């Protein structure tokens, strides 16, 4: 595997977490306007992306491979818990 293939490989591994985190941050800003009024969308997306990344890493460590339903569940759990924690502090 050359370096460009490695970049694509890791990009495709973590892109679902960051994409879902961005969509969830937008939905959070739309649905709970009063609760997260003082927070930037970027902050919610960043924390959600980091939580989703940790969920994917944990899933790969537990199952030994990527693309399992348990892995996607851990990714969603990581995104949800971090975005809830950041917005709950306000």
Give the pLDDT confidence of 30-42 residue by residue, as tens digits: 998 888 888 899 9
Question: In whole angstroms, how far apart are CA 44 and each of 5, 13, 51?
Answer: 30, 21, 11
Give the pLDDT confidence of 48-71 residue by residue, as tens digits: 999 999 999 999 999 999 889 999
**Gap between the Cα atoms of 21 and 24, Å rounded:** 5
Write down the pTM of the prediction. 0.89
């Amino acid at each position: 595997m050359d370096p460009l293939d490695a970049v694509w490989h890791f990009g495709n591994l973590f892109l679902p977490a960051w994409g879902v985190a961005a969509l969830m941050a937008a939905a959070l800003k739309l649905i709970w306007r009063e609760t997260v009024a003082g927070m930037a969308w970027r902050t919610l997306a960043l924390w959600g992306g980091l939580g989703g990344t940790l969920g994917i890493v944990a899933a790969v460590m537990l199952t030994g491979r990527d693309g399992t339903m348990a892995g996607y569940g851990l990714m969603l759990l990581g995104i949800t818990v971090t975005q809830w924690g950041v917005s709950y502090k306000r």
